Structure 1
Amino acid sequence: MNSTQRWMGGVVLLGGGVLLAALLLKGKDEIYQNELKTPERASQVEQQKPATTGEMVQLQPLTVDVETEKRLLEEQRRAREKAVAEQEARAAEFLVMQQQAEAEAARKAAEEYAALNAHRTGAQQSSDNIPPELIEDEKVKQKRLADEKLSAEKKLQQQKVQQQTDADKKIAEDKRKAEAEKKLAEKKAADKKAADDKLQQQAEEKRKAAEKQEAARKEAEKKEAEKKQAQTKHEADLKKKAEAEKARDLLENGDKQWMVQVALAANEANADAVASKLRAKGYKVTKSPTSKGIRIMVGPAKNREVADSARKKITSDASLGMKSAWVIDWVPLEKR
């Protein structure tokens, strides 16, 4: 009878151990699967981020990435807590099932023992007639169950501690990655700002250079315009002065020009010879063809007195050999 009870108790304990091991393995597998899903979600989040290339891209606000990481970490924490709670519930359920199975085995063993004892004695035996070795076996069994329960609780506690440690490590690692990403994003933002500032400075320098060049061009144009204006004014003044002189001469002399006629040449060659002598002496010579020959004249003079003085000078010059010269009131053909 005792060996039968021991055999049944061993079978129950063996089955309970197998079931507990299966539950623990299943819990670890679920935790491992959750941990595998977490990096996948993190990688998906990383893939959703815009790739960094040599081109300038518009950076997303950093607060969106931080909030996303916080939300993912919170989901991971809740998933781990849920997995731990489910595992604890399964372990508690298994302990209850094991205790029920042990109680049922003990009850069946007691019933079999009572039936066997009743068959031998023909009467119901009281609990005082139970052999001492059976009572002793029951105490050992209870102690063993208590030790196993305590051991299971310790293992469960150690597992909880280990899971919490892993979770803390995971959170610390995620926090470190988030801080590294934040620093990288801040560095990229700073580099982009520095590049934008440099481009803006270059644009400002180009604008100032263009303004300076434009100012220089306008200044040159202004000076050139002033120069042209001054030249135009000078020319206008000279023109006005010439017109005034012309008007004064016209007012004083009209269309008359006082000339000193020195010779009347028969042909052009003789006229040129006489004109050359007079030009060599510094006189202004005018030739005018007539029906009798070519008239050679010196002048014009502004009045008759000047013309007469020139006539006297010419006739008194022996090198010229012009004894006959006279003052005439001569009008050019185009004004006749």
Structure 2
Amino acid sequence: MNNKQRWMGGVVLLSGGVLLAALLLKGKEEIHQNQVHVPETAAESVQKNSNKNASQLTVDVETEKRLLEAQRHAREKSVAEQEARAAEFLAMQQQAEADAARKAAEEYAELNARRSGQQSSDNIPPELIEDQATKQKRIAEDKLAAQKKLDQQKAAQLKADQAKQAAARKTADAEKRVEAEKRAADEKRQVERLAAEKKAAEKQAVEKQAAETKRKADEKLKAEAKQKAETKQKDDAKKKAEAEKARDLLEHGEKQWMVQVALAANEANADAVASKLKAKGYRVTKSPTSKGIRIMVGPSKDRETADSARKKITADASLGMKSAWVIDWVPLDKR
């Protein structure tokens, strides 16, 4: 009986060792695959992102560095998780082996206790053998339950890893979108700034041109005003000189006394008045002025002769010229 129990305990330990070795080998293989797969995935991701962004904006170097650093951290985290799971599997296996050894020791003690009450150690009751089979079946069921639990834990961990990887990819995509939007916003601000600067430069050029045009127009107006002022000044000086000359001729030149009989508004009226005077034998002179045409009789050499002629004309009722008067007059050719 002791040999049988030892044999069963050895089988249990051997099967536990085989299971532990298989779990360790499988964990190492998964770690190796993750280590190999992650760089390939990162490389493929970088290649895809590079191909995608080749037609858009140039990827920022700092962003690439951050992405590579995040991928490195993800790989290290994955390896650490695999190692933790392998350590957990090893601990569970060790615990299972310890439980199996403890149960085997308890069963061995129980068998020894029962055997001590019997006369012969070779006669094992059938119910004891049946209990041993039941226990072996229970142990096998416990191992299957433990394996199932480990498989469930592994599946849950794999699902969690996949969720973490999906979240990491989603975060990376979000970061890329944020970077792309930021670059687009920067480019838009740059374009708007350049447009504003161009508009300001054009406005400044237009204002400068308008100011130059206004300055030239002001200078032209000033020049014209100055020219007009000079022309007016010259005309005023000329008129003043002519007036001085005329006054000097009147005061100091060869004066002639005339009798002004009328101031006609036009040439026809002046001719009518002149005809009447000529019909009476008077010598008539017409002189245009700014107010009309002056009709005069004369000239006389002195004022007394001119005044006698005035009285004669005003006394002649047929002429009807009662408002005649004597003036001292200088001919135009002598002015």
Output the TM-score relative to the length of structure 2. Answer: 0.48
Output the TM-score relative to the length of structure 1. Answer: 0.48
